[in-house]
Structure 1
Amino acid sequence: MSEVFEGYERQYCELSANLSRKCTAAGALNGEQKKQKVSEIKSGIDEAESLIRKMDLEARSLQPNVKAVLLAKLREYKSDLNNLKSEVKRIVSGNLNAAARDELLESGMADALTASADQRARLMMSTDRLGKSGDRIKEGRRTMLETEELGVSILQDLHSQRQSLLHAHSTLHGVDDNIGKSKKVLTAMSRRMSRNKWIIGTIIAVLVIAVALILYFKLS
């Protein structure tokens, strides 16, 4: 058997055992430590693949009977390496699942917090709208009271004006009565004056006639 192949084989076996221990340790870790351990394992797997390629080249350069034995060993080593790769994928997948779960939990908490914040915002908006509605109702009530007071004041003014108009109407009615009475008095006085004129005229005529008769008899 080739000493070169044996040297590569010895390195691979030590590396494979070390990688197996690291995979077992990585399964019990979390967070950054687990990521660091997985990174070390992947680096070791790359080194193991390099050793397998070197062993394959070395085995194929040997005699057929030796080559067949060494290639059979290589198939076992490749199978072992594939198992290590599968284990690393499982560890990484578990880490991703945990990260995804944490992300989902964080997302759920964020959604819950967002929903809670939205609910608080809507509640505050509703409270603000209710407050504004209450203020508008108070303002409307105050305006209504002011309008009512203004209406009462206007009604009082109208009542006062009505009373003034009624009083003025009564006064005018009294004036009309007085004017009517005065007119009647003036009419009566006018009639008396007319009668007096006729009486005075008659008296004057009688006196003139009497004077004329007296003068006539004296002169004749």
Structure 2
Amino acid sequence: MATLIQSYEQQYSVLTADITAKIGRLKVANEEDRDRLSREIQSNFDEANDLLEQLELEYRGSGAGSRVAAYRAELQRVKEEYRSVSSNTATYNIDPEEYDDWSGNDQRRKLLDNTERMERSGRNLTEGYRVVLETEQIGAAVLQDLHAQREGIQRSRGRLRETDATLNRSSRLAGSLAVRAMRDRLVLALVLLALGALLCTALYLYVT
């Protein structure tokens, strides 16, 4: 996701620099070249708008802070510059040699500004990519820890089932022992009663 955003931003920066350069050439171009450059600039504006729409969608999907508003403001400034050049017919009468003296510097300055913006964007994207990697590593560690905890819970559950089974067997054994003890007591009581009866009979016979 971050790589795609970076690609769109780089394409946008290159495209706006190209538009700025064409606007500069438009100031000294002849009628035929002006028509061609105007068509190309309009096409570039459409392409830039499409890039910004794609970039905005990518930002929404990533959840990161969006710089699309700043890019749109910059594009609007370039559009206003283009409209100003297009409507100012006197600009087309500039001497090419004179234009070379200041327009080239102006273009280089704008290209340098765009390059600086690209570098800042690249640094921001690099930092964002580093944060994403750190977040991914933390997420992997958390998932590994959760997996280990799940295995521990499953082992504990297995031991609880074994303990429950052992308790059930012990309960059944205790019940069986209790029944056997009661049976033994009953037999002992019967034996004692029988002995008592025999003793009484023997005493009776002895007395009589």
Match of 2:125 among 106, 114, 137: 137
Gapped runs of 5+ residues in structure 2? 1-93
Number of the residue aligned with 1:19: none
Number of the residue aligned with 1:125: 113
What is the distance in 1 between the residues matched to 2:123 and 2:164?
A: 60
Number of the residue aligned with 2:171: 183
Q: 1:204 to 1:112 in 2, by over 3 A?
A: same
The alpha carbon displacement at 1:139 in A equals: 1.4
Percent of matched pairs sharing the same residue: 27
For residues 150-165 of structure 1, what are the structure 2 equivalents within 5 Å? 150-165=138-153
For residues 6-21 of structure 1, what are the structure 2 equivalents within 5 Å? none
What is the distance in 2 between the residues matched to 1:218 and 1:118?
A: 147
Matched, 1:167 2:163: no
The alpha carbon displacement at 1:124 in A equals: 1.6
The alpha carbon displacement at 1:116 in A equals: 2.8
What is the distance in 2 between the residues matched to 1:172 and 1:118?
A: 79
- Note the alpha carbon deviations across 1:81-104, whole angstroms, 9 max, x for none: xxxxxxxxxxxxxxxxxxxxxxx9
What is the distance in 2 between the residues matched to 1:121 and 1:138?
A: 25
**Structure 2 counterpart SS, 1:206:** helix
- Note the alpha carbon deviations across 1:49-73, whole angstroms, 9 max, x for none: xxxxxxxxxxxxxxxxxxxxxxxxx
Match of 1:214 among 192, 202, 205: 202
Give the partner amino acid of 2:163. Answer: V
What is the distance in 2 between the residues matched to 1:118 and 1:216?
A: 144
Give the partner amino acid of 1:203. Answer: V
Q: TM-score normalised to the size of structure 2?
A: 0.51
Pair member with larger Rg? 1
Gapped runs of 5+ residues in structure 1? 1-103
What is the distance in 2 between the residues matched to 1:164 and 1:130?
A: 50
What is the distance in 1 between the residues matched to 2:122 and 2:136?
A: 20
What is the distance in 2 between the residues matched to 1:216 and 1:144?
A: 106
Give the partner amino acid of 2:188. Answer: I
Q: How many residues align?
A: 115
What is the distance in 2 between the residues matched to 1:194 and 1:118?
A: 111
Give the partner amino acid of 1:180. Answer: N
For residues 1-220 of structure 1, what are the structure 2 equivalents within 5 Å? 109=98, 112-220=100-208
Question: Runs in 1 of length 4+ with deviation above 3 angstroms?
Answer: 111-114
Q: TM-score normalised to the size of structure 1?
A: 0.48
The alpha carbon displacement at 1:143 in A equals: 1.4
**Structure 1 counterpart SS, 2:118:** helix
What is the distance in 2 between the residues matched to 1:178 and 1:125?
A: 78
**Structure 2 counterpart SS, 1:151:** helix
What is the distance in 2 between the residues matched to 1:185 and 1:178?
A: 10
